[in-house]
Amino acid sequence: MFLTIISFVFVLGVLIFIHELGHFIVAKRVGIKVEKFSLGFPPNIFAKKRGDTTYCIGIIPLGGYVKMVGENPDEKTTGADNEFMSKTVGQRAAVIFAGPFMNYILAIFILIGIFMVSGKAIFDENKVLVGEVVKDSPAENAGLVEDDIIISVNNMKVSNFENLRTEINSYVEKEITLSWIHQNDTITANMITTRQEIPNLEGGVDTVGLIGFSQKPTSYQSYGFFGSIKHGFVTTHIIVWETVKFVKKVVLGEVSAKMIGGPLFIAQQSGREAKKGGSSLFFFMALLSVNLAILNVLPIPILDGGHLMFLIIEKIKGSPLSIKARVAAQQIGLVMLLGLILVVTYNDILRVFKG
């Protein structure tokens, strides 16, 4: 539990800090007065004013914000040069876009670092070497442990992980027979698979059977400096593309909203990845960083994408939307965001009770 909490705070803290730092740096760069830079939401456990800005750390680590002068629609403005609304559309758009962009850049750097330090995992194609075994899973309950070698499933010999996975996935909440080598002993045990819904390549959801273990790499191959940079960029853009496709399919109803996770899911997964090691935790952070970037550029009022949408409208019509229109749009956006929070919270609760 302690590792889960620490991992969750670390992962979310870094992602939020980088996001808000993007807004902050560009705002200061274009001459906007920043009144507050907050990591987390009040009540505050730390607050210190330095220059024009009060720097805060809130006790609720589920977000953050940068408060700029003249930013809110209902805020009185004087027309001073350091106010948000006094800047050009391009300058304001740069400030808003800087947050998601920093999350995108962070993902690239994290992945470059992972490939540089850890390299590429190499798996033995002629045997199935057991890696992590999920706690309280059918595999663990049957006695399977790390470094065991699986030799057959349902009396069918298996020589690689893909064949084994395909066979097990076809048995959903049904009994299978697994045989493996533990040290010098051959063990055979029956176990009932668990049910799991996973996205497929067509954008739908497949229901598969699992027993709860992963394959262990036999070694790691270094990519080198330039190879790591290349793979960092390529992998980031693969994640971006897959995330965009997933969001699109959720919006169109082609993928169940049950696939969306919230803070509790992030906390649980952070703990799991931390147990696997630093590379796994940082890869999960990169994945979340991309998700945070894309979520924030969606054209939903109250999110960064909603503000960018207002600026596009302003550029087209030659003047800002009325205060009444902006306030109404943000209220709609708030309702949509609260609805999303309820959905992901419900999904998280279901995951806890259903395992």
* Digit-coded pLDDT (tens) for 138-148: 999 999 999 99
The backbone region for 176, taken as left when phi is positive above 0, alpha when psi lies in -120 to 50, beta otherwise, is: beta
Clarify whether residues 114 and 131 are in a common domain: no
Q: Is 20 a catalytic residue?
A: yes
Q: What is the model's pTM?
A: 0.80
- On the 0-12 / 13-18 / 19+ scale of CB atoms within 10 A, 327 is middle
Q: What is the DSSP letter of 151?
A: E
State whether 14 and 106 are in the same domain.
yes
Q: Supply the pLDDT for residue 339.
A: 76
Q: What is the CATH number of the domain that holds 157?
A: 2.30.42.10
Same domain? 302 vs 320: yes
Give yes or no: residues 306 and 348 share one domain: yes
Q: What is the model's pLDDT at position 200?
A: 60
- Give yes or no: residues 200 and 300 share one domain: no
For the chain, how long is the longest CA-to-CA vector?
80
Domain count, the chain: 2
Rg (CA), the chain: 24
- pLDDT of 218: 85
**Reduced to 3 states, what is the DSSP secondary structure of residue 207?**
strand
Beta strands 156-157 and 175-182, pairing class: unpaired
Question: Could you say which of 20, 71, 83, 273 is catalytic?
Answer: 20
The total of other beta-carbon atoms located within 10 Å of residue 267's CB is 20
Examine the domain organization and report whether 98 and 156 are in the same domain. no
**Residue 108 counted as domain residue:** yes
**Distance from C-alpha of 269 to C-alpha of 4, rounded to nearest angstrom:** 8
Which residues 6+ apart lie within 8 Å of 334 measured at CB? 301, 302
What's the domain range around 307?
2-118+274-354
Identify whether residues 88 and 48 lie together within a single domain: yes
pLDDT at 112 (0 to 100): 94
Residue 251 covered by a domain: no
- Residues of the chain with pLDDT below 70 are 199-205, 255-259, 346-348, 350-355
Instruction: Identify the CA nearest to 198 among candidates 187, 190, 210.
Output: 210
Amino acid making up residue 205: V
Assess contact for 148 and 272: CB atoms under 8 A: no
Question: How far does the chain reach from its first CA to its final CA, in angstroms?
Answer: 16
User: If you average pLDDT over every residue of the chain, what do you get?
Assistant: 86
Residues 6+ apart with CB under 8 A from 4: 267, 268, 270, 271, 274
Residue 227 included in any domain: no
| CA-based nearest residue to 71, from 23, 119, 2 | 23
Per residue in 197-242, pLDDT (tens digit) is 776 655 556 788 999 898 888 888 888 889 999 999 999 999 999 8
Q: How many residues does the chain have?
A: 355
Q: Is residue 303 part of a domain?
A: yes
